[in-house]
Amino acid sequence: MTIDITTLALTNIALTLHDDGVLVATLNRPAKRNALDEASIEDLVTLFSTIPRAGVRAVVLAAEGEHFCAGLDLVEHHQADRSPAEFMHLCLRWHEAFNKMEYGGVPIIAALKGAVVGGGLELASSAHIRVADASTYFALPEGQRGLFTGGGATIRVAGLVGKARMIDMMLTGRVYQGQEAMDVGLAQYLVEGSSFDRALELARAAARNLPLSNFAICSAISHLGNMSGLDAAYAESVIAGVVNTQPDARARLEAFANKTAARVRPTD
């Protein structure tokens, strides 16, 4: 049974579902720069656990206000005075949410602006595509706050920029923005206008693919990357066996064969 995603009761995320199956999920705590408190993390767990069963074809992860996300809610963390075990369990909820995003099989396009810092960068790096605009900047200020990453940056941010750059970002508070952020791999798109508009365009394009192809792209590539080369090649062929023979692909293959399908051309 398909779930109606718009009926989810979320505290800090607003949802808008478009006709083409694109869901816009907007972080909605701008007064706190969309800092991730416990309620926000539970929202992300609920949302991204449900999306794969809700017929959603692609997601735009957007933010209200000037900043995408200021990371861990430092005030809540300070006031809660958490024990090591409590914080470990909180981090496991972050991982639950972010793993659901990366491995969930539904394309997630992050529309970035302003601060994408600390846990905000961990969140952004769990999306499949990151779109930055002129205001977007990336940093890992944990080192300066007396903290360490706990939401997967050592895996995902290091995966994007490499270990040496991540260590530099954490030791020195280095901020990346603009073309340099693109060059080191923090974003795949840098736009002059609104990152939201481009993210929506990209989500709409992805939503036109068959869901099973997108499932493999937004789940299998990450899983295969965790395996040995030998096992990944084996698993890839099993996945291709399922995806590349899907009945829904027949019409697309037929269109190519009878020359009515668009050809791949260089862009202008």
Phi then psi for 177, rounded to 5 degrees? -155, 170
CB of 199 to ligand 1HE, least distance (A): 20
Helix (H, G, I), strand (E, B) or coil at 83: coil
Phi then psi for 13, rounded to 5 degrees? -130, 130
Give yes or no for a contact between 125 and 161, defined as CB atoms under 8 angstroms apart: no
Check binding of 21 to ligand 1HE (CB under 6 A).
Answer: no
Identify the DSSP state of 247: G
Q: Which of 43, 102, 133, 142 binds ligand 1HE (CB under 6 A)?
A: 142
Q: Strand 108-111 relative to strand 58-63: parallel, antiparallel, unpaired?
A: parallel
Check binding of 104 to ligand 1HE (CB under 6 A).
Answer: no
The smaller minimum CB distance to ligand 1HE, of residues 153 and 202, is found at 153
Check binding of 105 to ligand 1HE (CB under 6 A).
Answer: no
Check binding of 33 to ligand 1HE (CB under 6 A).
Answer: yes
CB of 150 to ligand 1HE, least distance (A): 3
Contact partners, residue 232, CB within 8 Å, separation at least 6: 224, 225
The smaller minimum CB distance to ligand 1HE, of residues 54 and 124, is found at 124
Residue 44, token pair as written in the block: 């992300």
Check binding of 80 to ligand 1HE (CB under 6 A).
Answer: no
Give yes or no for a contact between 63 and 110, defined as CB atoms under 8 angstroms apart: no
Using alpha carbons only, give the angle 217, 71, 31 rounded to the nearest 5 degrees. 115
Number of residues that bind ligand 1HE (CB under 6 A): 23
Residues in the chain: 268
Region of 143-151, 201-209, 210-218, 245-253 interacting with ligand 1HE (CB under 6 A): 143-151
CB burial of residue 57 (10 Å; 0-12, 13-18, 19+)? buried
Q: Which of 43, 73, 102, 133 binds ligand 1HE (CB under 6 A)?
A: 73
Region of 55-63, 113-121, 123-131, 165-173 interacting with ligand 1HE (CB under 6 A): 113-121
Question: Is 142 labeled as catalytic in the residue annotation?
Answer: yes
CB of 22 to ligand 1HE, least distance (A): 28
Catalytic residue among 42, 64, 76, 122: 122
Catalytic residue among 142, 180, 192, 201: 142
Residue 244, token pair as written in the block: 């590349």
Residues 229 to 258 in contact with ligand 1HE, rule: CB under 6 A: none
How far apart CA 111 and CA 89 sit, in angstroms, is 29
Helix (H, G, I), strand (E, B) or coil at 35: coil
Interaction pattern, residues 148-187, with ligand 1HE; x per rule: CB under 6 A: -xxx------------------------------------
